[in-house]
Amino acid sequence: MTYTKNGKTFNCPIEAALDVIGGKWKPLILWRLCGGIKRFSELQRELPGVNAKMLTRQLRELEGDGLVMRTVYPEVPPRVEYAITGFGRTLVPVMEALCAWGLEYLGIDDEGTCRCTKEGRD
């Protein structure tokens, strides 16, 4: 059976999920945003190795898929903030489970690391 969403065809729901949140940066962006609203520069600082072009592209894709909301404030200079949407928050248990799996894989015993709170991610 095939599924279609946003002009894309998927052979299974897992393929669709990986299309939306797959890659190196999207899960990390969502993980950072689940703790609260962030400006672009904050995200870039918290994600070492991501360049501005890649971060912009990933944020636009997440916004297009309804996982991230972008708010532009009419100020000079313009202020732009990013927040995880309610739909994006449905991924928090999945990300926490991935974090717990990663800790187990690494042989680390630190359950607090995988809570979606500011303290848990820093």
pLDDT tens digits for range 59-90? 999 999 999 999 999 999 889 999 999 999 99
* Look-up of token digits 């904050």: 42
**What domains sit in the chain, N to C, each tagged with a CATH number?**
24-121 (1.10.10.10)
Within 10 A of 121 (CB to CB), how many other CB atoms are there?
17
Share of the chain above pLDDT 90, in %: 75
Q: What is the pTM of this model?
A: 0.87
**pLDDT, tens only, 29-48:** 999 999 999 999 999 999 99
